Amino acid sequence: MNFLEKWILPPTCVVSGESAERFDLSSALLQTLKQPDAVCPVCCEPSLKQGGEKNLCGACLTTPPAFCQTQVGFYFEGVLTQLVYGLKYHQKLEYARLLAEMTVESFDVTGVQVLVPVPLHPLRRRDRGYNQAELIAKELGKRLAIPVLSNGILRIKNTPSQTHLNAKQRRKNLVNSFEIKTDALAEFSHIALVDDVITTGATMQVLAECLQKETGIEKIQAWAIAKTE
């Protein structure tokens, strides 16, 4: 809905068509949104407070991942799934703005110098016409006043769909998938990788490992609109 339409017509929910409350969504759908609570700040998996200062989970305490923090807006379910799939598979490009507006307040941006979208392989990008993670990163960057670096990492291996793979299989699948543009990233010490959804965290882990190995970046965060619960 453009500015003029918004002014003339009452806002309607982009999913249900009912009258919209916030973010172009009906109040019924807004109520279904679920934010992670009591999670490990590093991996965003459930971690009950046990007195530890930062509430790290056991896995991150024993085997810390290559990224230092995971931040997501919501759990990947209900209307979030509809919006992300709409953006990813049904050319609903306007959902990138909507998803960024919904989640922007969830992110603690302290120290983050640049947003780097998780890249798509050029062939897949050509088929889809865009990289949804890049659209989301740009909408977030605009609102957070953080620059976006779209060509800092290239995807050089067209990995098959990861949907039915577990974390270990996903990592194997991703080996040698990325090329890091070290010159483009040389000036940064603290970055956030941005994706639409984090499922097992394998993509973020492999990417962060490559960045650690090939650049001087000290802090790598993993950001996404949503995460599977």
**Chain positions contacting Zn ion, by CB under 5 A:** 40, 42-43, 57, 60
CB of 64 to Zn ion, least distance (A): 8
Any residues with CB less than 8 A from the CB of 146 and at least 6 apart, and which?
109, 112, 113, 114, 115, 140, 192
CB of 132 to Zn ion, least distance (A): 26
Nearer residue to Zn ion within complex by CB, 205 or 215: 205
Rounded distance between C-alpha atoms, residue 95 and residue 108, angstroms: 22
CB of 43 to Zn ion, least distance (A): 3
Nearest to 103 by CA among 120, 80, 87, 81: 80
Nearer residue to Zn ion within complex by CB, 10 or 51: 51
Rounded distance between C-alpha atoms, residue 8 and residue 6, angstroms: 6
Count of CB atoms situated within 10 Å of the CB of 60: 19
Nearer residue to Zn ion within complex by CB, 116 or 222: 222
Nearer residue to Zn ion within complex by CB, 68 or 146: 68
CB of 222 to Zn ion, least distance (A): 11
Judge contact between 222 and 69, C-beta under 8 A.
yes
Nearer residue to Zn ion within complex by CB, 52 or 147: 52
CB of 57 to Zn ion, least distance (A): 3
Nearer residue to Zn ion within complex by CB, 11 or 41: 41
CB of 70 to Zn ion, least distance (A): 8
Helices (H), ranges, the chain: 3-8, 27-30, 58-62, 79-89, 95-103, 122-128, 132-144, 167-174, 182-185, 202-214
Nearer residue to Zn ion within complex by CB, 43 or 217: 43
Rounded distance between C-alpha atoms, residue 192 and residue 187, angstroms: 14
Which amino acid does the sequence have at 102?
A: M
Rounded distance between C-alpha atoms, residue 211 and residue 220, angstroms: 8
CB of 217 to Zn ion, least distance (A): 20
